[in-house]
Amino acid sequence: MGRTLVPLLICIATLQFVSVPAGGQIAAHESDHDKLQRALEQSAVDLIGMLEKGEPAALLDIMSKRGVVFGLEPPPIQWDEIRRQFAQKRGTYCLLFDSECARKEDAAARKKAGAPDRKEPLYSYREMFRLFQKRSMRVSVSGSPRGWGGQVTITFLPMAENESEGQPELINFLFAYERGQWKLTAIVYT
């Protein structure tokens, strides 16, 4: 019985040895994942606060130096260009912080393109976050050999229970974990 038990124990220990390092890495990975998830949640709360308070300089600090994509698929706007637009209070500054400026730029672009006037109201992100307090936030983090990425989805909910116009508005903020910090890489909207 002792001779049978020893090889069986060696076999079980070998199987556990093969799975223990992977299991250990997974546990560490999950721990890293959980820490990064919490850090991204805090970055998202900070981002929303910067938008609500109108803090462009603080927002620049959390933007990736590689640039930020605004919209669905355009190339990223380089960080230096975003900084210039913020300083000149145009473009991305208007989109993020100033509804009146955004409306003027939108109307000028529509006129230039021969497009009809906008029918629905246009709000800056600052105004949306200030007006539509009823919202939910979903945060997800994923890792790959190229690094960590994160997504923050904000859903603006109808203001009243009986409101049934349209679908809830969604905004996705994409982040990359760069040099120990979450950096904004895209603001996805339609």
The residue among 63, 98, 97 whose CA lies nearest residue 81 is 63
Q: What is the pLDDT of residues 27-71, one digit of tens each?
A: 444 578 899 999 999 999 999 999 999 999 999 999 999 999 998
Query: What is the chain's mean pLDDT, rounded?
Result: 81
From first CA to last CA, the distance across the chain in angstroms is 70
The first and second tokens of residue 32, run together, are 């890293």
* % residues pLDDT > 90 (the chain): 62
Is the pLDDT at 11 greater than 70? The verdict is no
- Dmax over CA atoms of the chain, in Å, equals 90
What's the rounded Cα separation, in Å, for the pair 181 and 50?
A: 17
- Gyration radius of the chain's alpha carbons: 24
pLDDT at 159: 61
In the three-class reduction of DSSP (H, G, I as helix; E, B as strand; rest coil), residue 132 is classed as coil
Domains parsed from the chain with CATH numbers: 32-188 (3.10.450)
- Residue-wise pLDDT tens digits, 125-150: 999 898 888 889 999 999 887 889 99
